[in-house]
Amino acid sequence: MPVTLLIEHLDQLYTVPGPSPRVGARQGDIVPILDGAVACDGPTVVAAGTTAQVRSQIGLDDNTTVLDGRGKSMVPGFVDPHTHVVFAGDRRDELRRRLAGADYAEIAAAGGGILSTVRATRQASEDELVSQTATRLAEMLRQGTTTAEAKSGYGLDTATEVRMLQVVGRLNTLQPIELAATFIGAHEVPPEFRGRQTDYVRLVIDEMTPAAAPYAEWCDVFCDRGFFTPEESRAILEAGVHAGMKPRIHADELASSGGSQVAAAVGARSADHLVRIDASGIESLRSAGVVATILPCAAFHLKLGQFAPARALIAAGVPVALATDVNPGGGFSPSMPFAMALACFAMNLTFEEALVASTINAAASLDRQDRIGSLEPGKQFDAVLVHGPAVNLLRVNATPIAGVYKKGVLC
Alpha-carbon distance 349 to 346, whole Å? Answer: 8
Q: Which is nearer to ligand NIG, 327 or 358 (CB)?
A: 327
Window 251-280: residues binding ligand NIG (CB under 6 A): 253
Q: Which is nearer to ligand NIG, 217 or 253 (CB)?
A: 253
H or E segment at 93?
helix 92-99
Q: Is 20 in the site for ligand NIG (CB under 6 A)?
A: no
Q: Which is nearer to ligand NIG, 84 or 406 (CB)?
A: 84
Q: Is 298 in the site for ligand NIG (CB under 6 A)?
A: yes
Alpha-carbon distance 37 to 365, whole Å? Answer: 27
Alpha carbon separation from 93 to 81, 99, 136 (Å, rounded): 27, 10, 20
Name the minimum Å distance from CB 331 to ligand NIG.
6
- CA–chain centroid gap for 224, Å, is 20
> Where does 32-123 show beta strands of DSSP type E?
33-41, 44-50, 65-68, 72-76, 78-80
Query: Could you please report the per-residue DSSP string of 151-216?
Result: E--S--SHHHHHHHHHHHHHHHHHSSSEEEEEEEEETB--GGGTT-HHHHHHHIIIIIHHHHGGG-
Window 187-246: residues binding ligand NIG (CB under 6 A): 222
Of the candidates 5, 33, 114, 162, which one interacts with ligand NIG according to CB under 6 A?
A: 114
Q: Is 297 in the site for ligand NIG (CB under 6 A)?
A: no
Of the candidates 76, 81, 113, 337, which one interacts with ligand NIG according to CB under 6 A?
A: 113
Query: Could you please report the per-residue DSSP string of 235-247?
Result: HHHHHHHHTTPEE
Tell me the number of residues near ligand NIG by CB under 6 A.
Answer: 13
Of the candidates 15, 20, 73, 117, which one interacts with ligand NIG according to CB under 6 A?
A: 117
Name the minimum Å distance from CB 202 to ligand NIG.
21
Q: Is 325 in the site for ligand NIG (CB under 6 A)?
A: yes
Alpha-carbon distance 280 to 301, whole Å? Answer: 27
Of the candidates 328, 337, 373, 400, which one interacts with ligand NIG according to CB under 6 A?
A: 328
Q: Looking at the chain, how many residues does it have?
A: 411
Name the minimum Å distance from CB 75 to ligand NIG.
25
Residues that bind ligand NIG in the complex, under the rule CB under 6 A: 84, 113-114, 117, 222, 250, 253, 298, 325, 327-330
